[in-house]
Structure formats: C-alpha cells, structure tokens
Amino acid sequence: MIIAVYQGPSPEGNIKNALARVNTTLAKAASKDVDMVVFPELFFPGYNQMQRHAAMAQEQGGSWETQFAELAKEHGCGLTIGWAERDDESIYNSASAFDRTGKKLAHYRKIQLWGTTERTTFEFGNHYSTFSLVGVKTGLLICYDVEFPQHVRALAQMGVQLILVPTANPEKFGHVCTTLVPARASENALTIAYANYCGNDNGLSFCGQSTIVGPDAQSLVSASPDEEKLLIADLTSINNINTALLSTQLADFRKVFTK
C-alpha cells in the first residue's frame, strides 16, 4: 500500500481554494499510484476559523462530501480529510475517508477536543471508526486524540494496523510530531500517518513536521516545519523490519489491581 500526507497552508475559509488544493494534490498523488492521501484537520474551512465554523459547517452527504467523493473517483486516489460537520444544532470536528472509487469508507468525530476554543465550538465525539484500506485494518483519529495512549491502544486492540491523523498542531508543539507520534506507533507496533499544516491561519502558527511513522518508531517520510509538501511512503517497506525489534506490549501488559 502507498499512502501520503499533505502538508500545506490553511485555506483560511476560502472553499474554492481548498477544493483546488485537494484537486491538484490528488492528481499528483494518483500519478504516484497513491492509495490514500491524508489532509490536515478542519481543512474545510480551515482550522483557526472558529468564528466561521458554525455558519459554514455542513451535514454529512452535503456538497463538501459530494465533492470529496467526486475528486477521489476522478483521480482514482483515496482521500481522508478534516472538515466542520453540522448535525442539527451540534457542530463536530470531523474527518471522512473515501477510497479511490469515491466510496465513503468511514466518518469520525474528534473525541479529545483541545482547549477552551474547541470545547466551546464543537461537541465531543464518542465513537471510534475503523475500515479496511487495501486489506489493512485502518482507524481515524484527529490531532489531540493521538496524544492519548489509551485511544491508540484501543484501536490496536481492535486489530488496527494503520491510523490516519488529520491534525492542526501549533508552533512550539513539535515534540508531538517527533516524540509522541513515534511513541504511539512503537507502543502498539502500528503505522501512523500524521498530516499537519504549515504557515499560519488567522494569527495561529503551525509547526509543520508532518510524518508517516512505522511500527518501529522510525519516520518513513517527514516534512520540515515550514514547507508545503506531499509526503509519500510505500508501506511494503515495513515488511523488512526485524519483527524481533517490535513492541509486544499488547500481549505482555499485566493489569495490577490495588486494594
């Protein structure tokens, strides 16, 4: 399987530009036979557009998802992307995944909302979402979710081998990309694709450093803090990892009960 993560600037509420970015990125990825491209968190309409999210949020099956599916089908390349979802009066920080035929594979609502602004804008998600991608059991998390060992462990216990993570990780939090994401991958012997923004959005600067990390905690590909880039990794290379070096924590963990 070949997967990719797109790191780039926020569309800052410009949906026309956002769609154009998805279109050109999928075209480029398709030329490399990529199976799935992961875009950042709330790419529609942009992460730090909190004043716009409620007004612009769409329901599942609306024009945004319709266009995501059409672009995936047109280019023959899967797409996972974050967007602001409306469900009646509730707004969610969500992500959807589509395969290369445009079929919707999964939908996920962020469980761990970060900070006061997110918590006053969005409702909490309450369910994990998994699906098969080219025969590999795959899960979705969004940004802060992946920093919790409990959530990654829960997906691993469900048999997930690959986690796709749209994110909007701010400047000064680069340790998440370089330390926490590799740790989560290593602890559970799985692969994590982590897609962040670069540049800034409405006064918020991002740390970039998007990455795809294998089950041995080694980065297969990574970006610098400030470059727009499509990172591509052939996951068949993981087959060459010495399995004796992979974590066996899932099998070895012992619960200790205190009186």
* Six token digits for residue 109: 């609502």
Which residues in 120-257 belong to E strands, given as ranges? 130-133, 136-140, 162-166, 191-195, 200-201, 204-205, 211-213, 219-222, 229-234
Class (C level, CATH) for 2-236: alpha beta
pLDDT tens across 32-90, in order? 999 999 999 999 999 999 889 999 999 999 999 999 999 999 999 999 999 999 999 99
- Among residues 77, 110, 147, 177, which one is catalytic? 110
| Backbone CA torsion sign across 155, 38, 240, 135 | positive
| Residue 242 scores a pLDDT above 90 | no
Whether the Cβ atoms of residue 82 and residue 42 lie closer than 8 Å to each other: yes
Whether the Cβ atoms of residue 192 and residue 213 lie closer than 8 Å to each other: yes
Q: Is 22 left (phi over 0), alpha (psi -120 to 50) or beta?
A: alpha
| Residue 237 scores a pLDDT above 90 | no
Q: Confirm whether 77 is a catalytic residue.
A: no
Q: Confirm whether 73 is a catalytic residue.
A: no
Would you state the pLDDT for residue 234? 97
Q: Confirm whether 32 is a catalytic residue.
A: no
pLDDT tens across 180-195, in order? 999 999 999 999 999 9
Which residues in 8-129 belong to E strands, given as ranges? 36-38, 78-87, 90-98, 104-109
- What is d(CA 251, CA 25) in angstroms, rounded to the nearest whole number? 39
Calculate the average pLDDT of the chain.
96
- The pLDDT-based confidence of 240 (bands split at 50, 70, 90) is confident
Q: In what order do the strands lie in the sheet with 219-222?
A: 130-133, 136-140, 162-166, 191-195, 211-213, 219-222
- Among residues 143, 177, 198, 207, which one is catalytic? 143
Neighbours of 162 (CB within 10 A): 23
Q: Which residues pair with 84 in a beta bridge?
A: 93
246: which DSSP letter? S
- Please state the domain extents for the chain: 2-236
| Residue 259 scores a pLDDT above 80 | no
Best CA proximity match to 182, nearest among 138, 207, 215, 158? 215
- Among residues 41, 85, 118, 147, which one is catalytic? 41
Instruction: State the pairing for strand pair 136-140/162-166.
Output: parallel
- What is d(CA 85, CA 31) in angstroms, rounded to the nearest whole number? 31
